[in-house]
Structure 1
Amino acid sequence: MSVLAELAEPVVAKLLKLSEDELYERLGETARAIAADPAKAGLFEPIVIYNEPEMEFVEDVRDFGRRLFRRWNVETYKFICGDNIDDMVDRQELINAFDINDLAVAAALASLLVTHVGLSPALAVVVASLVIKRFASPGHKEFCKVWKNKMPKYE
């Protein structure tokens, strides 16, 4: 397990206990908190306190989180389930995590989102948790098949 995955693991362990709606809300809140204080971006678990005047209504924050996830969904899918030879070694690390458990997959995915997709650690752990919540099933190939069936077409 990479150092980044080790740092992400305790955070995704907490996040995987949340519902999808709570994760979308967390994603929106975290993104808004980073906009207000960019130093939070570099932390896997920044302290984010919901502040309605800054973040709008909870429903709006949740919808914002959903929109952010939709944007990153396709790129994350292409990286994790694609066939780009440049990503093969790192993709194998993730595939190996499927033999352990969802927590290991989410932690590995979060670290790869930071290093390959360019997400901040604060956002990567939430996106990885959402991906696992929404699409996880036994094995990498089945995971990608389920995920592909639930996303819009991409080029």
Structure 2
Amino acid sequence: MWIEYCCPQCHATCRQDSIESTDILSCQKCKLIVRIAPQSIGNDRLTRCLVCPSAELFVRKNFPQKLGVWIVTAGLAGSCVAWAWHELIATFAILFATALVDVVLYMVVPNCLACYRCQARYGGVESHGTFTGFNLETHERHRQFLARSESLAGSKKL
């Protein structure tokens, strides 16, 4: 199992492999050590986030979203050009090819777990049975909590 997370202190992206066999996470840049709570990984299953105290994780594809947006945008642009040239068959061929690429990527790319609160990602997790897909309400609750926390921290500096 591996983890990719943002260091709470220096905000560098950190990646650590074999997290089930260690009890600490360490940042390679600032050397911050985050202790893993013993109950976080039970029976080789993740029960909560290792970086923050959140137990709310969701299942997502381990694929860069920006690349997915570029693939769809390129398909849309290509079909618009074909449509402008009055190539009806080419227009729909490009759209169907883009959809086919999307389906193939969906089938091939493995799942990973992500934390709503700190956006840490966990790969190589065997079972996602206890966690579900993305929930906008849960995400919004964590986003608003973070915004309020930053607002309070900013007002204390004044």
TM-score range, shorter chain: under 0.3
Relative contact order, higher structure (CA 8 A, sep 6+): 1
Choose between structure 1 and 2: higher strand proportion: 2
TM-score after normalising by structure 1: 0.27
Highest Rg: 1 or 2? 2
